[in-house]
Amino acid sequence: MEINVHSYQELCLQGPHELYFKDLSKRKKQVMEKNGNNRKLRVCVATCNRADYSKLAPIMFGIKTEPEFFDLDVVVLGSHLIDDYGNTYRMIEQDDFDINTRLHTIVRGEDEAAMVESVGLALVKLPDVLNRLKPDIMIVHGDRFDALALATSAALMNIRILHIEGGEVSGTIDDSIRHAITKLAHYHVCCTRSAEQHLISMCEDHDRILLAGCPSYDKLLCAKNKDYMSIIRMWLGDDVKPKDYIVALQHPVTTDIKHSIKMFELTLDALISFNKRTLVLFPNIDAGSKEMVRVMRKKGIEHHPNFRAVKHVPFDQFIQLVAHAGCMIGNSSCGVREVGAFGTPVINLGTRQIGRETGENVLHVRDADTQDKILQALHLQFGKQYPCSKIYGDGNAVPRILKFLKSIDLQEPLQKKFCFPPVKDNISQDIDHILETLSALAVDLGGTNLRVAIVSMKGEIVKKYTQFNPKTYEERINLILQMCVEAAAEAVKLNCRILGVGISTGGRVNPREGIVLHSTKLIQEWNSVDLRTPLSDTLHLPVWVDNDGNCAAMAERKFGQGKGLENFVTFITGTGIGGGIIHQHELIHGSSFCAAELGHLVVSLDGPDCSCGSHGCIEAYASGMALQKEAKKLHDEDLLLVEGMSVPKDEAVSALHLIQAAKLGNVKAQSILRTAGKALGLGVVNILHTVNPSLVILSGILASHYIHIVKDVIRQQALPSVQDVDVVVSDLVDPALLGAASMVLDYTTRRIY
């Protein structure tokens, strides 16, 4: 990719830096005190090529502006020091950085063997450098083979590693190298939410991951060079106008060199036919690059009147060239990442960037096997202008990274810890396991009943057990253990392989530790209860625990109407009112595990008392308890029963009697239900205005009685922009059990088979 960053001190370093790590100021103070107030962090930044320097330079400038906190050492190696690739180390000197060490590590040959030998040569030379510099931390970027050598050396020499742009997915061998560096690195700076989730899925410690955005975007989004015409003329000629030229940058694909060379040849043929002025940058130093240069020379590109072939363009000039181009074509990560900041059309060829997140400005030609396909793509894209994309950054990455660096505690143990989901025993694979039905044990702790079920991968409840929920902790925990042991034994007879236990319970839950923090008043003696340990120790299975409302949302995500949706909200209507919020495919727990307490949204300032101690909550109007209270009041006044109804003397009056009376024409019962539905509807409106989901799901036994009233309230009270959001009744019979099972099935099946 591209290179050189000038005068970073002039860039926009101010902005909302606290988006992801609000507590870092406090942590920084504590860490500085622990490390010693006069102790600077010695940071080594190693840059291998023009591409990684464009990402590392903004960080280097940021480090340089804070000498009271950091000492910076710069190590240059790789293609920076090769004349054929532009001697790009000079731009580092032009940026006024002192290069502490130059390492010639490239073995020429531009084939697979040369790449391996280059890694080996770097591994031989780096130990002396690191022994001399003795950095506290080394910053490594990306997914190049040189970077793998750097990370390997630092890890083996007990030097902390900060990896930039981990967690991303692209194509070729780069993916494997990137993920290998991730496993060696101690700290991670990623650019997108998806990359962050990938790192977490790879069992990296969430506390050591910073979602900062791409450092190069700090410059891209502040680039306001008014004299871009002089840059265009310098590189493409005096007669070229903005939006009337092409930038081409294509690299070899190391896992299929022969095909990538053929694709480059077809690209050049298409560009010649398209007949527009084109700036062609030489490929990187990967295996196959020498053959690609031969193709360029064979076709006379360096002497063709429509082409300008160059080895290197300074980064600040390069971004002006792509910002005002009619199109960019090739397979460089720059095309799918940085160029989106300007809305310039991009044609991404082949599979080299196949997994990257892209904006709408990118047109993929993955099977670029004919000149005609590429030519058609040029006709479709050239000259268009797309909306600017900020997928990879908002221009404030460097301040976040500097703050993250300051928070590093050098007194912490150097040994990495991986955050594996809890597993007691390794289960080997054999034919019996393959023939078994993969299943979960699901436990639902309700206010009245305690239920345990065997749930299959498809969401089928194979067998269910129900008992009354005991009133004391001792009786309850013993009954849970007894029922789970019996269910696990029965599962063997039913040929079901139990992968783990999922527990759905009322109250506030810490799902990371498997602890019920505070329970609802419906479940007594159920505060600060560790559910994970006794079940895991007894059953020798991993155990997950979450709130019943969250479980209902997870059930919808895996088995119900929320399947495949990015954003939706579930309201669960039963004895109480609860819910769960799915945002960007993930369940929202909140900072203190109190998110989605939807039953305690206040919809009236002077409403009835709620069990939470407040008043006017949805639960005080629309829960089964609230309806039962109103039903008893009507019954005591002889206003509940109508013709065709009776309540036996030994049967308690319940919410179902109120609903039955309303169906039979009891006006007062109808009014109570309407008020309850309106309260729930106002809560839904508040959620629509706050979270803006694409779907609202009403779950539980009362959902069907409220649905029409809720929709009426939305039509009357909601903003026009959210009135079209669909509200549906869940079609799941046991959402709490299914949600509990989904926690098990979603995590364990990623590791087995």
Copy the structure tokens of residue 231: 């840059």
- Each residue of 190-218: pLDDT tens digit? 999 899 999 999 999 999 999 999 999 88
In CATH terms, the fold of domain 221-381 is: Rossmann fold (3.40.50)
Q: How much is the pLDDT for 8?
A: 33
Q: How much is the pLDDT for 7?
A: 34
Evaluated on CA atoms 31, 33, 34, 40, the torsion sign reads positive
Global confidence as pTM: 0.52
579: which residues sit within 8 A by CB, 6+ positions away? 549, 552, 553, 569, 570, 571, 572, 596, 597, 598, 599
Is the pLDDT at 273 greater than 50? The verdict is: yes
Q: Between the CA atoms of 36, 40, 42 and 43, what dihedral angle is there, to the nearest 10 degrees?
A: 120
Mean pLDDT of 251-262: 89
Domain ranges for the chain: 39-214, 221-381, 431-560+742-752, 566-731
Bridge-partner residues for 78, per DSSP?
A: none
Q: How confident is the model at residue 10 (pLDDT cuts 50, 70, 90)?
A: very low
Percent of the chain with pLDDT over 70: 92
CATH top-level class for 39-214? alpha beta
Residue 1 parent element (H or E): none
- Each residue of 510-528: pLDDT tens digit? 999 999 998 877 787 888 9
- Sheet order of strands, 70-77 included: 99-103, 70-77, 41-47, 137-141, 160-164, 187-190, 209-211
Task: List Cα–Cα distances, 190 to 142, 221, 235, 359, 698, in angstroms.
Answer: 10, 18, 33, 18, 37
Is the pLDDT at 751 greater than 60? The verdict is: no
Q: Cα 736–740–742 angle (5° rounding)? A: 115
Is the pLDDT at 436 greater than 90? The verdict is: no
- Residues annotated within the binding site are 508, 520, 548, 597, 600, 610, 612, 617, 619
Do 407 and 21 contact (CB within 8 A), yes or no? yes
In CATH terms, the fold of domain 566-731 is: Nucleotidyltransferase; domain 5 (3.30.420)
399: which residues sit within 8 A by CB, 6+ positions away? 13, 14, 15, 17, 62
Copy the structure tokens of residue 229: 């015409």
Is the pLDDT at 478 greater than 90? The verdict is: yes
- Residues annotated within the binding site for Zn(2+) are 600, 610, 612, 617
Contacts of the segment 174-181: beta carbons below 8 A, 24+ positions apart: 174/143, 174/144, 174/352, 175/143, 175/355, 177/143, 177/144, 177/145, 177/147, 177/148, 178/142, 178/143, 180/148, 180/151, 181/140, 181/142, 181/143, 181/147, 181/148, 181/151
**Same CATH topology for 431-560+742-752 and 566-731?**
yes
Q: What is the rounded distance in angstroms from the CA atom of residue 699 to the CA atom of residue 549?
A: 10
Is the pLDDT at 541 greater than 60? The verdict is: yes
Q: How much is the pLDDT for 17?
A: 36
Q: Taking all residues of the chain, what is their mean pLDDT, rounded to a whole number?
A: 88
Is the pLDDT at 598 greater than 90? The verdict is: yes
Do 620 and 627 contact (CB within 8 A), yes or no? no
Pairing mode, strands 577-583 and 568-573: antiparallel
Is the pLDDT at 24 greater than 70? The verdict is: no
Copy the structure tokens of residue 172: 């070729």
Is the pLDDT at 174 greater than 90? The verdict is: no
- Residues annotated within the binding site for an N-acyl-D-mannosamine are 508, 520, 548, 597, 600, 619
Task: List Cα–Cα distances, 247 to 65, 121, 173, 236, 620, in angstroms.
Answer: 34, 34, 25, 10, 64
Q: Is 518 helix (H, G, I), strand (E, B) or coil?
A: strand
Q: How much is the pLDDT for 424?
A: 54
Which CATH code is given to the segment(s) 431-560+742-752? 3.30.420.40
Q: How confident is the model at residue 157 (pLDDT cuts 50, 70, 90)?
A: very high
Percent of the chain with pLDDT over 90: 65
Residues annotated as part of the active site: 548
